[in-house]
Amino acid sequence: MKKCLIIENSYKEESKEIGSKISRVLSSYGISYSHYVLAQEPFVPSVESVPFSENDFVITLGGDGTVLFAARGCAPLGIPVFPVNLGQFGFIAGIQKDSWEKDLELFMNNQLKPDVRNMIQVEVFRDDKKIASSYGLNDIVLASQIPAAMVSFCVVYNESKLGNFRADGVLVSTATGSTAYSVSAGGPIVDPELDAFVFTCVNPFSLSARPLVFNPEGTLSISILPDRNDKVRAVVDGQISKDLICGDKVVITKSKHKAILLGCSVDNFYEALRSKLNWAGGPHA
């Protein structure tokens, strides 16, 4: 390891201070570093604008959203992400702010096991022509651009039509993303070591619309159907968006890219569930 990129989330007041401390520690290991400030703006910058390829690993100082941003830049390059949690939940950012120095020492001594996570590939087609493509670690959400207005979707898995759904939106998450928007919409919490896609409707106009768990080796296709409202926006990882129109088809497959995360073991995942969601197994859970 010779060079590191430190990504600081400007929304987190501690990020600059901890970033300075990390810089000094990296210098003691003979590792050069650079800083990138992820500013809180309406639109997240493109990962292509960040010099990920010049580094051997990346340290993120923020919450899970900062990790999602870094993962999209690092995954195609096979670069690991060392995620220090300054957010609220930290299901992905598994390294706590009071233990980063110890974990960084373990990493420098090849004693911190990396956790490899699958990602989703998203392609948008209009009139049989691909007009957009992206990939993400968490999820793809298709939702109405108009608040409290339903949209109609046709959902197909491989060659099997699952049906037409009317809902505020639909989403497909990875196992990693099952603890994000998906669980808020009533989807299951999935062990991050499982290879799965979770399909969940957001406020469906049907009591029978239940979350479904799919083999990610297949293909999910979601088409926008004619309705009184057909203004839809596709959003990947809550950060990359594309406006859709009636007839557009979104094709979701497993990405060839994989995110390499440090300090994000399954033990840390279940500890986050217990502590952040106040699981107690009793009346006060």
CB 151, CB 167: distance < 8 Å:
yes
Rounded Cα–Cα distance for residues 63 and 51 (Å):
21
10 pLDDT band (50/70/90 cuts)?
A: confident
In the predicted structure, residue 282 carries a pLDDT above the cut 60: no
pLDDT for the residue 40? 65
Q: How many Cα atoms occupy the beta-carbon half-sphere of 149 within 13 Å?
A: 11
In the predicted structure, residue 105 carries a pLDDT above the cut 90: yes
Task: Of 38-52, 56-70, 146-160, 256-270, give the lowest mean pLDDT range.
Answer: 38-52
How confident is the model over 125-148, as pLDDT tens digits? 999 999 999 999 999 999 999 888
Decide if 64 is catalytic: yes
pLDDT for the residue 223? 97
In the predicted structure, residue 3 carries a pLDDT above the cut 80: yes
Backbone angles phi, psi at 237, to 5 degrees: 55, 25
Nearest to 56 by CA among 114, 135, 143, 133: 114
In the predicted structure, residue 91 carries a pLDDT above the cut 80: yes
Chain centroid to Cα 223, Å, comes to 22
In the predicted structure, residue 238 carries a pLDDT above the cut 70: yes
In the predicted structure, residue 82 carries a pLDDT above the cut 80: yes
Place of tokens 């491989």: 158
Active-site residue, selected from the candidate residues 64, 103, 230, 248:
64
Chain centroid to Cα 12, Å, comes to 19
In the predicted structure, residue 115 carries a pLDDT above the cut 60: yes
CB 11, CB 60: distance < 8 Å:
no
When pLDDT is averaged across residues 57-76 and rounded to a whole number, the result is 95
pLDDT, averaged across the chain: 91
